[in-house]
A = this chain, B = another copy of it.
Amino acid sequence: REELHSLGVATAVPLGTDSVKVIFNDDNAADLNYIWLRDNCPCPKCVHPDSRQKLVDTASLDFNVRPKKMAVTSDGSLDIVWSDGQHKSVYDPIWLYKHAHGYMLDSFHKESSVSKPPPLELWDRVSIWKNMPEVSYNEFMTTEEGLFRWLDLVYRYGIVILRDVPEKKNQILEVVNRVAYVKSTIWGDTFDVVCQPVQNDPKHLAYTGMYLEHHTDMNYREKSPGLQMLHCLESSQGKGDDGGKSFLVDGFMVANWLKENNPAAFHILSSTPVQFSISSHNMRYSQTIPIICVGKDGSTEEIHYNNRTMAPLQAPPQLVKPFYHALKDFAHKLRDPASELSFHMVPGDLVAFNNRRVLHGRTGFDPTKVSRHLQGCYAELDEVFTRYFAMRNGKK
């Protein structure tokens, strides 16, 4: 930041009729179009001073606008008086430097680290037990540090466990409200994962004692909920029954492993849209999306996988068998005990995870011997991450 304070525009040289080459005093240079500069004038007529929303009406601008006067001031600002009605713009060099980023002529220019999010921590059984992502409930609820630690863990690890949460029904709402808004779904504002369902659809397999393989939730929605929380209200181990154990796996780690060890399988799973659907409450939700969603640079951005809600594959016939083989490789790595964080949730535990990264499941149990009651809810992940970035930048 020290560096930024001394930053200034050194020179501004017109390039043809449409743009100006702005050279900064650190020798970086940007090619900035006049219409871009005029459109981004920061004066109070063009940007609302309080809301920072844009007031200039882009579509009404004269696109052949040119500077009548252009000067670099002694404090390193760029001043322009425009051909359209003497409008005057003063560009702060730090603002220019930051937003001219995409137009920098120097390809060695490094991105500012100020707003860059930290790298994700991919994990497996060994590494997660070494750095268990946990925070105490009191610290989380009552201190900024606890809140920040929680946000940081859910961002970097995709999972965080709150300990010693009061074992009260709907306590989870207090927790979610500290970081985001409850997302209501066909399963309610909250849902109870318990064998004697009350408010939920008794037909959902989660509400039985059945073994549930690794999955992400609600892949059949337009956009599946990004954050899931599960609060353990009750759990008792039955005699000789070790069931009802929770397990979680970092899907990004598994996807990266697949990319490294079987690039063809990774390609198939990231390029073949799969339909997920569910029929409940007399409606049928359906979405078609690859199991591994990648960004433009090929990096894994989301995982969507639940064998129980996958519809029959629709793909070119020659892709069917390769798809099944790719899926098996992916599933085997998911199920490898070395991949997973596995533990019995105890009352007071509240686990929150990125539902588009971390897959969850539980071992089967005999409901007549084991009692187990989790209360869950969903929220939007961008609310959580936005809060995280705000706190993170505030700390710098």
Contact = CB atoms under 8 A, between A and B. Distances in A.
B48 A283 contact: no
B63 A317 contact: no
A267 interface: no
A55 B283 contact: no
A36 B279 contact: no
A226 B313 CA distance: 28
Size band of the A side of the interface?
35 or more
B205 A284 contact: no
19 contacts: A19-B317, A31-B317, A33-B317, A36-B312, A36-B313, A36-B320, A40-B312, A48-B205, A53-B205, A57-B213, A59-B307, A59-B335, A102-B314, A102-B315, A103-B317, A186-B383, A282-B394, A283-B389, A285-B386
Given A53-B308, A54-B309, A382 B221 contact: yes
A63 B325 contact: yes
A139 interface: no
A376 B386 CA distance: 23
Nearest to A394: B282
Interface string A246-262: 00000000000000000
Contact of A307 (B54, B282, B320): B54
Interface in A9-60: 18-19, 31, 33, 35-36, 39-40, 48, 50-55, 57-59
Given A101-B314, A103-B317, A223-B222, A308 B63 contact: no
Interface string A90-115: 00000000010111000000000000
One complex includes copies of this chain to the number of: 2
B284 A386 contact: yes
A327 B59 CA distance: 7
A135 interface: no
Contacts of A19: 317, 320
A292 interface: no
B50 A203 contact: yes
Interface string A294-321: 0000000000000111111111010011
